[in-house]
Amino acid sequence: MLESAQEIRHDWTVDEIVAVHDQPLLELIGEANRLHRVYQPPNYVQKASLLSVKTGGCPEDCAYCPQSAHYEVNIERSPLMPTEKVLELAARARAAGADRFCMGAAWRQVRDGAEFDALLDMVRGVRALGLEACVTLGMLNESQAQRLKEAGLTAYNHNLDTGPEYYSKIISTRTYEDRLKTLQAIRAAGIEMCCGGIIGMGESVRDRAAMLQVLASFDPHPESVPINALVAVAGTPLGEREKIDSVVFVRMIATTRIVMPQARVRLSAGRSNLSREAQILCMIAGANSIFYGETLLTTPNARMPEDDALFAALEAISSEARAQ
């Protein structure tokens, strides 16, 4: 693919990104869609299936997260799921049409030992099923990243979550610098980087733009960028936050697409609050991946029959169908 120096940039300023984000909506969506059609297959939306393989009891204090042990949240904790069970669920996800299988663990960081070895087996098993494999396990070092690469891991998800300034309002138990180190280890091992964040936590547009600026400074850009809207869970410090407006979601997706035209932009948590039409608008604005399946990690996702109807609506239609 030809890279246009003007369009694939690593030197965006926060001001420039804010200006992109704040322009008239139709201009913004139009430009995002133009870039989407140049750099991405125009009719493909990836289905990624998500599974929590170790749930709750996490020592970190991420203010949005129901799995943090710091808060009183009504979720069931569970230890690492047996590999056979994970692979059974992966096979089921593949049969339902998933392209990628993502496994999340409520760990602060990866520790060498039996549990990490089991994770490596899960990755091998998922790849053997012909699925892309992604994991999100918290912080890790280069040798651990290398072992994941050798097991066949496609991508590692580790989010920046928000801009550098707002970050300390959300998480105190690890720094932005720690996150960047993990991302460097992933890149050093040659694993695809899946890195994005969350909107709707009380941050400003400037904080969102600052996060995109850090992401775009990676060369190459992250291969995938999940954009989550906060799922406010009772018991967490952000449990009372109001849902964001769907146009706010669309603006963030479009801005992400413009700033990183080659990335896969994933319309992630919070999608179940969007109508079918708002989701299609996000796709016009550059989203080309979703989480597909009844649950995210601990909270409900968009329902599968509704997603099947959404995907059916995206297909080309025959003349008989058009007559309806």
Residues with catalytic function: 58, 62, 65, 102, 134, 194, 266
Q: Which residues pair with 286 in a beta bridge?
A: none
Distance CA 257, CA 213 (A): 12
Which pair of tokens denotes residue 291?
């989480």
- Could you tell me the two tokens for 315? 């297909």
Scanning 144-152, 210-218, 240-248, 294-302 for contacts with ligand DTB by CB under 6 A, the matching segment is 294-302
Taking the complex as a whole, how short is the minimal distance between the CB of residue 266 and ligand SAM, in angstroms?
11
Residues near ligand SAM (CB under 6 A), total: 19
Cis before 220? omega within 30: yes
Q: Which residues of 53-86 are buried (b: 16+ CB within 10 A; e: fewer)?
A: bbbbebebbbbbbbbbebbebebeeeebbebeeb
298 binds, among ligand SAM, ligand SF4, ligand DTB, none (CB under 5 to 8 A by kind): ligand DTB
Q: How far is the CB of 297 from ligand DTB (least distance, A)?
A: 4
Instruction: Check residue 55 for interaction with ligand SF4 (CB under 6 A).
Output: no
Q: Which does 158 bind (CB under 5 to 8 A by kind): ligand SAM, ligand SF4, ligand DTB, none?
A: ligand SAM
Instruction: Write out the binding residues for ligand SAM, residues 130-159 only, by CB under 6 A.
Output: 136, 138, 158-159
Q: Is 269 in the site for ligand SAM (CB under 6 A)?
A: yes
213 touching ligand DTB, by CB under 6 A: no
222 binds ligand SAM (CB under 6 A): no
Does residue 60 touch ligand SF4 according to CB under 6 A?
A: yes
Which of 52, 279 has the CB closer to ligand SF4?
A: 52
Q: CA Rg, the chain, in Å?
A: 19
49 touching ligand SF4, by CB under 6 A: no
Structure tokens, 5 = 């120096």
Calculate the CA 140 to chain-centre distance. 18
Buried b (16+ CB within 10 A) or exposed e, 243-258: ebebeebbbbbbbbbb
Q: What whole-number distance in Å separates Cα of residue 62 and Cα of residue 56?
A: 12
Rounded-to-integer distance, Cα 264 and Cα 286, Å: 9
Q: From CA 214, how far away is CA 37, in angstroms rounded?
A: 24
CA atoms of 75 and 69, how far apart (whole Å): 11
Closest Cα partner for 268 from 67, 256, 7?
256
Q: Using the rule CB under 6 A, is 138 a contact of ligand SF4?
A: yes
Residue of the chain from 50, 102, 199, 230 that contacts ligand SAM (CB under 6 A): 230
Q: How far is the CB of 67 from ligand SF4 (least distance, A)?
A: 4
> Restricting to residues 63-82, which ones interact with ligand SF4 according to CB under 6 A?
65, 67-68
The single residue listed with the structure tokens 């299609």 is: 280
The binder of 68, among ligand SAM, ligand DTB, ligand SF4, none, by C-beta within 5 to 8 A per type, is: ligand SF4
User: Please, which residue, 136 or 256, has the CB nearer to ligand DTB?
Assistant: 136
Is the Cβ–Cβ distance between 235 and 215 less than 8 Å?
no
* Residues at the site binding ligand SF4, with contacts judged by CB under 6 A: 58, 60, 62, 65, 67-68, 106, 108, 138
* Residues at the site binding ligand DTB, with contacts judged by CB under 6 A: 50, 66, 104, 136, 157, 159, 196, 226, 228, 231, 268-269, 296-299
* Residues at the site binding ligand SAM, with contacts judged by CB under 6 A: 58, 64-65, 67, 104, 106-107, 136, 138, 158-159, 161, 198, 228, 230-231, 233, 269, 297
